[in-house]
Amino acid sequence: MQQRRIMAALAAVVLAAGLSACAPEPVTPPKPTTSAPPTTAPPSPSETPAPTTEAPTTPPPAPWERFTDPRITHSFEIPPGWSVQDLGSPNDMGIVQLGVFDPAGTQRLVFMNQVQGLGGACGALPPLAVEELAAQSVDIPGYVPTADTTGLQLVGPKVVFRAAPVAEGVIASLALADDVLPEYCMYYNLLHTDAGPLLFATRLQVDNYDPSSQWLFGSMEEARAYQQSEDYAQLVRILGSLRIAG
């Protein structure tokens, strides 16, 4: 009986040893890995944004000035660098005649508050085929049209660019006017006011007598192209700024 117990115990020991040999070895779980955040390389010199600099400020253009004369109630504006000179009066009847000069000293416009002594014969000269290349209506403070409209067709004040073909090219004028021109060998640039005819234009009389002494363009196309210039815009603004009163 004792021998059986010994044998059974030995068998249990052998069986336990066999099971221990066959059991898998414990596996140590891998340590969790952490990846470092990606490093950003500094920008190359070519990629580095250039410092911003503010553009230099352009000074505003100088303001226009309003010319006045104590002898008259009329006034008008002139650009910076332009001037107005007294051209003298033809008589002592209160006529004021002024010239408007550009910075180069060239007379560009003439003003006269009362125009007298108009009229002239054409003789054998043909009438001018005058074309209004541009006409801009303007409001002139103090303008009152004349009550005597004999021989006139008034249409209201306007800055008008007129041109007429002649043998030498195209004669032109830029003026304040308020009438429709008749067919004639000449025309006058006038405002017909209740105080008498008023002149503010590049020229009083435009005629076919001596075109070479007047404002002459090579062609009508050249005259039209001139309307796109800064010089044209300045003259239009000067003329349109006239005030007869106020």
Give the least confident one: 4-13, 77-86, 162-171. Answer: 4-13
DSSP assignment, residue 209?
Answer: S
pLDDT for the residue numbered 153: 95
DSSP class of residue 243 equals B
Name the least confident of 48-52, 190-194, 230-234.
48-52
User: Is there a contact between 211 and 109 (Cβ–Cβ < 8 Å)?
Assistant: no
Task: State pTM to two decimals.
Answer: 0.76
The pLDDT of residue 240 is 98
Residue range 44-56: mean pLDDT, rounded = 61
Per-residue model confidence as pLDDT tens digits over 103-162 = 999 999 999 999 988 887 888 889 999 999 999 999 999 999 999 999 899 999 999 999
The C-alpha atoms of residue 114 and residue 190 are separated, in whole angstroms, by 10
Tokens read off for 30: 């891998």
Residue 80 Cα to chain centre, angstroms: 17
Residues constituting the chain:
246
Q: In which band, very low, low, confident or very high, does the pLDDT at 20 lie, cut at 50, 70 and 90?
A: very low
